[in-house]
Amino acid sequence: MAEQSMPLWEVFIRARTGLAHRHVGSVHAADAEMALQAARDTYTRRGEAVSIWVVPSAAIVASDPAEKASLFEPTASKIYRHPSFYEIPEEVGHM
């Protein structure tokens, strides 16, 4: 009989203060505390972190890649959101 599986946790690491947490992989653990420790022992063996997040993998809601076009392409036409859209005379200086 296959044994009950250990829950899966996604691991996020902040490499240095000031940086955002970045996804690095996953670990298996029965609960949050053990997941945090497993993440520490697995993903920070070379001083890669100042902070760790672990999140139950099942708690992550992801967008559907098939909807990439409808989700992300409409923004491409909104060029007025970018600073280069506006013309400011050079004499005004940096803005």
Partner 1 sequence: MTTIHIEETPHLCAVLRLADTSLVLAHRLSEWCGHAPMLEEDLALANIALDLLGQARLLYQHAAELEGKGRTEDDFAYLRDAPQFRNYLIAELPRGDFAFTIVRQTLVSAFFHPFWQRAAGSRDATLAAIAAKAEKEVAYHLRHCGAWLVRLGDGTEESHRRTLAALDALWPYTGELFEVDAVGRAMIDAGVLPDPETIRPVFEATVDRLLREATLPKPPATWMHSGGLRGVHTEHLGHMLAVMQHLQRAYPGAVW
Partner 2 sequence: MYTQALNEAVERPRVVEDPEKLAAFQARIDAEEKIEPNDWMPEAYRRTLIRQISQHAHSEVVGMLPEGNWLTRAPSLKRKAALLAKIQDEGGHGLYLYAAAETLGVSREELYEQLLAGKAKYSSIFNYPTLTWADIGCIGWLVDGAAIMNQIPLCRTSYGPYARAMIRICKEESFHQRQGYEIMLTLCRGTPEQKAMAQDALNRWWWPALMMFGPPDSESVHTEQSMRWKIKRFTNDELRQKFVDATVPQAHYLGLTIPDPELRYDEATGHWRYGKIDWEEFKRVIAGFGPCNRERLEAKRKAHEEGRWVREAALAYAAKQRARAMAQKIAAE
Which residues of the shown chain bind partner 1 in the complex (CB under 8 A)? 6, 27-30, 33-34, 37-38, 41-42, 45
Q: Which does 37 bind (CB under 5 to 8 A by kind): partner 1, partner 2, none?
A: partner 1
Q: Is 37 exposed, middle or buried (0-12, 13-18, 19+ CB in 10 A)?
A: middle
Q: Which does 53 bind (CB under 5 to 8 A by kind): partner 2, partner 1, none?
A: none
Residue of 74, 75, 94, 72 lying closest to 83 (CA atoms):
94
Q: Which does 46 bind (CB under 5 to 8 A by kind): partner 1, partner 2, none?
A: partner 2
Interaction mask 76-95, partner 2, x per CB under 8 A: --------------------
Helices assigned H by DSSP within the chain: 32-43, 68-72
Tokens of 3: 């044994």
